[in-house]
Structure 1
Amino acid sequence: MNLQAVLTIYKAEMRRFFRTYQQSLIAPVISTSLYFVVFGTAIGGRIDQVEGVPYGAFIVPGLIMLSVMTQSIQNGSVGIYFPKFQGTIYEILSAPVTFIEVVAGYVGAAATKALAIGTIILITATFFVDFQILHPISMVAFLLMTCVCFALLGFIIGIWAQNFDQLSMIPVLVITPLVFLGGSFYSANMLPPFWEGVTRLNPVFYLISGFRWSFFGYADVPVGVSLIAIAIFTAVCLSVIWWIFRSGWRLRD
């Protein structure tokens, strides 16, 4: 692998991140803090505990996953979209680098940005609620895997998008609703049987469940199922990206 090429793309993307830190870093932290105020205070005052966990602490993993998934997709899609928009993508395609090195550079940078935001939000949460992390290594692993697989999805969206409207359509109209309906703010066991079944059809539900287990030792589904869901999601994204570079779809148009 050409590590120099990977690092070049990675460093360029990270520089862009720090140039726009107000939008990339500060905005997600402020919006998440508002979620803590609204859900933790207003709703938390009416819901004492969920599965033995104080409601304010219960929503911490869901809020982190909400921000991490959104930011992974956003950074992954924008990173590859702008070279397409500016026409510099042809320089990358004609360079002596493989698609693995291109993906590693862009996706690695997007995952790093999302991981940094998730870490800052985790620290911010300590100012609002008291909680402990029972399985810190598993928590880091789940967080890292989520950053990578959703950055891969964002990379696909960035290649698919042909304008800025399409670039934001999938995250806003698909991903955000899936996260909200995936158990971010509630347990699936709290729902009527029909809606519990609908929730279990949501792939994001399994990611949030596994991540919450790393905090409290509680999950709506076995942790192994969550890991299998992440593995399948990642494999599908990698397969799609491989096909895109092999066929040149939306890259050489």
Structure 2
Amino acid sequence: MNLNAVKTIYIHEMRRFQRTIMQSLVSPVLSTSLYFVVFGAAIGSRIDQVEGVSYGAFIVPGLIMLSVMTQATSNASFGIYFPKFTGTIYELLSAPVSFLEIVTGYVGAAATKALFIGIIILLTAFFFIDIQIAHPFAMLALLVLTCISFSLLGFIIGIWAGNFEQLQLIPLLVITPLVFLGGSFYSITMLPPVWQAITLFNPVVYLISGFRWSFFGVADVSIGVSLLAITIFTAACLGFIWWIFRTGWRIRQ
């Protein structure tokens, strides 16, 4: 692997993150802090506990997942779309750089940004809510896996998008609703049996459930199923990206 190529792409993307620090970091942290205030304090004062956990603490994993998934997807999609938009992607494709090195650079930078935002939000949560993390290493591992997998998804969206409107379509109209409906603010066991069965078709449920387990040791689905779901999702994204570079879909066409 050409590590110099990976490093160059990675540093270029991270420098763009530094130039847009207000939009890339401050904005999601502030908006999530408002969720802590509104849902944790206002609504949490009216709800005693959910599965033995205070409501304010219960929503923390879901809020972190909401920010991480959307930010990872948006950062990766814009990172690869902008070279397409300016035409500089052809210079990248003609350089002695493999598709794996290109993906590693762009996805690695997007995942790093999302991971940084997730950790900042977690630290911010300690100022509002008393939180105990039952499995800190598992929490960090699941957070990293989520950042990588949704950065891969964002990379695919960036290749697919034909304009800036399409670039924002999937994160706003698909990922965000799936997170809200995936148990970020509630346990799916609180739903009627029919809706519980329907909710299990939402892949985000397994990610949020596994991440919540790392905090409190409780989950709507088993941690094994959650790990299997994120592994399948990551493998599917990698396979699709490999197909994109092999066929040139939306890159050379």
Q: Same fold (TM over 0.5)?
A: yes
Instruction: Name the counterpart of 1:200.
Output: 200
- Residue ranges of structure 2 left out of the alignment (5+ in a row): none
**1:39-118 map, 5 Å:** 39-118=39-118
Instruction: Name the counterpart of 2:224.
Output: 224
**1:173-252 map, 5 Å:** 173-252=173-252
Counterpart code for 2:70: T
> 1: CA distance between counterparts of 2:166 and 2:92?
23
Deviation (angstroms), 1:19 = 0.3
Where in structure 1 do 4 or more consecutive aligned residues deviate above 6 Å?
none
Alignment deviations for residues 19-71 of structure 1 (CA, whole Å, 9 cap, x no partner): 00000000000000011111112211211100000000000000000000000
Instruction: Name the counterpart of 1:14.
Output: 14
> 1: CA distance between counterparts of 2:204 and 2:62?
10
Instruction: Name the counterpart of 1:155.
Output: 155
Counterpart code for 1:63: L
Cα RMSD (Å) of the superposition?
Answer: 0.5
* Higher alpha-carbon deviation: 99-108 or 195-204: 195-204
Counterpart code for 2:130: D
- Residue ranges of structure 1 left out of the alignment (5+ in a row): none
Alignment deviations for residues 167-204 of structure 1 (CA, whole Å, 9 cap, x no partner): 00000000000000000000011111111111111000
Deviation (angstroms), 1:210 = 0.3
1:251 partner SS = coil
> 2: CA distance between counterparts of 1:223 and 1:35?
26
Counterpart code for 1:133: I
Counterpart code for 2:44: G
> 1: CA distance between counterparts of 2:63 and 2:243?
33
Counterpart code for 1:64: I
Counterpart code for 1:43: I
> 2: CA distance between counterparts of 1:172 and 1:76?
15
2:127 partner SS = coil
> 1: CA distance between counterparts of 2:79 and 2:102?
11
> 2: CA distance between counterparts of 1:106 and 1:97?
13
Counterpart code for 2:58: F
Deviation (angstroms), 1:240 = 0.5
> 1: CA distance between counterparts of 2:18 and 2:195?
42
> 1: CA distance between counterparts of 2:83 and 2:141?
31
> 2: CA distance between counterparts of 1:44 and 1:134?
21
Instruction: Name the counterpart of 2:126.
Output: 126
* Higher alpha-carbon deviation: 125-134 or 38-47: 38-47
> 1: CA distance between counterparts of 2:243 and 2:249?
8
